[in-house]
Amino acid sequence: MSQEKQNRFIPYLREDRLPHIFCPGCGNGAIINAFLAAMQKAQMDFDNIAMVSGIGCSSRIPGYLKCDSLHTTHGRALSFATGLKTANKDLDVVVFTGDGDAASIGGNHLIHAARRNINLTVICINNNIYGMTGGQISPTSPKGSFGSTAPYGNQDTPFKLAELVAAAGASYSARWTTVQIENLVTSIKDGLKNPGFSFIEVATQCPTYFGRKNKLRTPTAMAAVMKANTVFKSAADRMKPKDLEGKIVVGEFANHTRDEFTENIDKISVEKSGKKTLINSAYESEL
């Protein structure tokens, strides 16, 4: 018997929480894998990472990773993350969220966190549907797609999240899919290293709900459609809007440097008190 080969990322998992709750064929596993690979490539100290999430399938990811993790209320992860990062500017704060969490109920926090360019890395897992509540349409559901609250087809125009966040002021914004894992890893790595608001949207498959309601019952069928519909941004920039209907444009939508929120707070602190903002001051009886 050959010894079973252990996945190199097992040490980062809370093994005592397994098995996980994700459905067979869900993209979350591949995205966790991509995140941990990117984290290693970026040479991050895993022990210095704190994770924050909201509500939904994607927001369950931090609960399976062996780091400090704050599983918060629906849509509000970015506000909790803003407080956490501001209170301790030395932490590397990563947010896992989804299309419903970040773009519907949490839309306001999303654009304002991007506007502040606060140093957070946000991984937004976009499956175009509400998975945890059973397949309702989301703000990114394609026009005409079916969900349990759109039995006659979705009539609303979806948000383009990576573009929206870039327009709101994020210094890094990108979109990839679960069929371009290598690009995704590179993008998450770049996001982790970017000293500002980094938003990585990952288009993913939800065979259980989106697939079942839209005649794409298997993860492979969904992956094939996703791959066929992918257009790189460089090509998309030369295409007409009409030809881009139904396509998933992948690539970077923002990648530049600008002043960062918590550094600005530290600057004012240094100017007014002669020192950077205090860390872990709650534990001191005299300040």
Partner 1 sequence: MSEEFFIQGNEACAKGAITAGCRFFAGYPITPSTEVAETLARDLPKVGGSFVQMEDEIGSAGAIIGGSWGGAKSMTATSGPGISLMQENIGYAFMTETPIVIVDVQRGSPSTAQPTMAAQGDMMQARWGSHGDYEPIALSPSSVQEFFDFTIRAFNLSEEYRVPVFVMADEVIGHMREKIVVSDDIEIVARKRPESSDNYLPFENIENGTTPMPAFGDGFNIHVTGLTHDERGYPDTNDPETHDKLIQRICDKILNNKDKICSVQSKNCEDADVVIVSYGAPVRSVVEAVNKTDKKVGYIKIDTPWPFPDEQIKQLCKNASDVLVVEMNLGQMYYEVERVLKDSNVHLLGKIGGLLPTPDEILDEIDKIGGN
Rounded to a whole number of angstroms, the minimum distance from the CB of residue 160 to partner 1 is 21
Q: How far apart are CA 43 and CA 26, in angstroms?
A: 28
Q: Is 133 in the site for partner 1 (CB under 8 A)?
A: no
Choosing from 20, 41, 112, 193, the residue that interacts with partner 1 (CB under 8 A) is 112
Choosing from 23, 40, 41, 88, the residue that interacts with partner 1 (CB under 8 A) is 88
Rounded to a whole number of angstroms, the minimum distance from the CB of residue 56 to partner 1 is 13
Choosing from 25, 27, 56, 62, the residue that interacts with partner 1 (CB under 8 A) is 62
Looking only at the bridges linking them, the beta strands covering 129-130 and 136-137 are antiparallel
Radius of gyration of the chain (CA): 19
Q: Is 132 in the site for partner 1 (CB under 8 A)?
A: no
Rounded to a whole number of angstroms, the minimum distance from the CB of residue 262 to partner 1 is 8
Q: What distance lies between CA 133 and its chain's CA centroid?
A: 19
Q: How far apart are CA 273 and CA 186, in angstroms?
A: 40
Cis peptide before 11 (omega within 30 of 0): no
Nearer to partner 1, 59 or 180 (CB): 59
Question: Among 33, 72, 25, 40, which residue's Cα sits nearest to residue 53?
Answer: 72
From residue 64, give the alpha-carbon distance in Å to each of 9, 58, 71: 12, 11, 11
In angstroms, how far is the first alpha carbon of the chain from the final one? Answer: 61
Rounded to a whole number of angstroms, the minimum distance from the CB of residue 175 to partner 1 is 24
Question: Which spans of this chain sit near partner 1 (rule: CB under 8 A)?
Answer: 14, 16-17, 47-48, 50, 52, 62-63, 66-73, 76, 78-88, 90-91, 108-109, 112, 262, 265, 268-269, 271-273, 275-287
